[in-house]
Amino acid sequence: MKFAQLIKNKYLLQADKCSKFFHALIKRNRHSRFIAAIRLKDGHNTSSQDEIALTFVNHFRNLFSAHELIQTPSISICNRGPKVPTDCFAALLCPTSKQEVWNVISVMDNNKAPGQDGFNVLFFKKAWNIIGDDVFAAVNEFFTTGKILKQLNHAIIALIPKHDQAS
- Domain edges within the chain: 3-63, 84-153
Can you tell me the distance from the alpha carbon of 55 to that of 46, in angstroms, rounded to the nearest whole number? 10
What's residue 13's pLDDT?
Answer: 52
What's residue 32's pLDDT?
Answer: 64
What's residue 2's pLDDT?
Answer: 58
Which of 85, 121, 129, 123 lies closest to 104 in space, CA to CA?
121
3-state secondary structure 90-129: HHHHCCCCHHHHHHHHHHCCCCCCCCCCCCCHHHHHHCHH
Q: Count of H helices and E strands in the chain?
A: 8, 2
Exposure string over 54-77, b if 16+ CB within 10 A, otherwise e: ebeeeeeeeeeeeeeeeeeeeeee
pLDDT tens digit at each of 167 positions of the chain: 555 555 555 555 555 566 777 777 777 766 666 777 888 888 888 888 898 888 888 888 888 777 776 777 778 877 888 888 888 888 888 888 999 999 999 999 888 766 667 788 899 999 999 999 999 998 898 888 888 877 777 666 666 666 666 66
What's residue 137's pLDDT?
Answer: 92
Q: Which pTM value belongs to this model?
A: 0.48
